């Protein structure tokens, strides 16, 4: 009777999306047992049956699928996708850096991040004890520092400790002054390209120089090694050294070639961004000339912002 009632509660609960019905029936049987079977020597056995069946029949914990965030749902087809990413930024300088990156690398939304031209960009990334302004390619941290919050001796020491911790965790850090991000997007992109090329070269060198796993010989195997085996090992070591020399030479050539390409990309980006800046300034100036009230408000806000970042 007990087992059948618990099974019925489990089946009906699943049918009506009421998984708690099973536990209600179990508690009801427990109350009945304590009230009417208290004097019976089988009370413990009955309680074991009640809760043993309940434990066996209870709905198993299920991991609910993660609901995509607002940024993860954005696609290139959304006309306001850039505005949503800009809203994640915490300062006008961060917005300016984001806009420069989108323009320079033709970034588009991809699963909550931005990607384009072989580069990925994440915003406000949480890591243990810190939150990163931007993360490029999963390993290059970009921090946009305003003078108001990062120029005091205490702030400098705090940033140095933070950089040391993140570097020890395998990250590369690029710190950009807020003024550079705001007023010189070409220089911003040039610094990013340079830091990224250096970081990629470090990664490539680390992979090339990573030693292969050494498998020790079993006891007695070293005694059976013949001169031919030893000669083969020596030859293998010689080939390994020669291969490492070739890798180093290729790395030097790669660094030089990549640096040259980076300079060309920087020039192209600088020209493109300069054209966009000039167009933006021309439109802004037209609006300022046409609306004196707006012009006065604009100059007032600009002076306040410059005073805060000095």
pLDDT band at 218 (very low <50, low <70, confident <90, very high): low
Nearest to 189 by CA among 266, 277, 297, 132: 266
pLDDT band at 97 (very low <50, low <70, confident <90, very high): very high
Dump pLDDT digits (tens) for 102-111.
999 999 999 9
Percent of the chain's residues with pLDDT above 70: 68
Mean pLDDT across 221-226:
49
Dump pLDDT digits (tens) for 4-43.
776 777 667 666 766 676 677 777 767 777 766 655 666 6
pLDDT band at 154 (very low <50, low <70, confident <90, very high): confident
Which of 151-165, 246-260, 282-296 has the weakest average pLDDT? 246-260
What's 70-184's CATH class? alpha beta
Nearest to 22 by CA among 34, 33, 9: 9
3-class DSSP assignment, residue 30: helix
Dump pLDDT digits (tens) for 188-197.
999 999 999 9
pTM exceeds cut of 0.75: no
Of 167 and 244, the one with more pLDDT = 167
pLDDT at position 119 over 80: yes
Angle at 42 between CA 39 and CA 48, to 5 degrees: 125
Mean pLDDT across 237-251:
70
Mean pLDDT computed over every residue of the chain: 78
Contact between 20 and 13 under an 8 Å Cβ cutoff? The reply is yes
Q: Write down the pLDDT at residue 167.
A: 92
What is the biggest distance separating any 2 CA atoms in the chain, rounded to whole angstroms?
97
Long-range contacts, stretch 26-34, CB < 8 angstroms, 24+ apart? 26/50, 26/51, 26/53, 26/54, 29/2, 29/5
pLDDT band at 227 (very low <50, low <70, confident <90, very high): low
pLDDT at position 63 over 50: no
Q: Helix, strand, coil shares of the chain as percentages rounded to 5?
A: 65, 10, 20
pLDDT band at 65 (very low <50, low <70, confident <90, very high): low
pLDDT band at 302 (very low <50, low <70, confident <90, very high): confident
Q: Write down the pLDDT at residue 208.
A: 75
């Amino acid at each position: 009777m007990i087992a059948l009632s618990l099974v019925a509660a489990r089946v009906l609960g699943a049918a009506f999306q009421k998984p708690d019905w099973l536990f209600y029936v179990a508690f009801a049987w427990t109350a009945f047992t304590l009230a009417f079977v208290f004097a019976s020597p089988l009370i413990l056995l009955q309680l074991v049956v009640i809760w043993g069946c309940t434990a066996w029949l209870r709905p198993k914990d299920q991991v609910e699928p993660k609901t995509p965030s607002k940024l993860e749902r954005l696609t290139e087809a959304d006309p306001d996708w850039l505005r949503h990413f800009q809203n994640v930024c915490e300062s006008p300088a961060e917005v300016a850096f984001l806009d420069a990156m989108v323009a320079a690398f033709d970034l588009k939304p991809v699963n909550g991040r931005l990607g384009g031209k072989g580069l990925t960009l994440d915003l406000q990334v949480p890591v243990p004890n810190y939150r990163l302004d931007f993360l490029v390619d999963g390993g290059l941290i970009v921090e946009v520092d305003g003078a108001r919050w990062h120029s005091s001796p205490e702030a400098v020491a705090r940033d140095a400790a933070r950089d040391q911790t993140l570097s020890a965790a395998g990250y590369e850090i690029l710190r950009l002054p807020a003024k550079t991000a705001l007023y010189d997007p070409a220089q911003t992109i040039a610094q990013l390209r340079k830091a990224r090329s250096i970081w990629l070269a470090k990664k490539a060198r680390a992979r090339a120089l990573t030693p292969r796993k050494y498998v020790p010989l079993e006891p007695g195997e070293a005694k059976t090694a013949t001169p031919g085996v030893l000669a083969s090992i020596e030859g293998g070591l010689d080939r390994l050294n020669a291969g490492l020399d070739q890798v180093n030479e290729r790395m030097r050539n790669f660094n030089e070639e990549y640096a040259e390409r980076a300079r060309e990309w920087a020039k192209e980006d600088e020209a493109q961004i300069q054209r966009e800046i000039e167009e933006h300034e021309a439109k802004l100036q037209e609006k300022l000339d046409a609306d004196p009230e707006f012009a006065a408000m604009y100059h007032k806000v600009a002076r306040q912002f410059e005073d805060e970042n000095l």
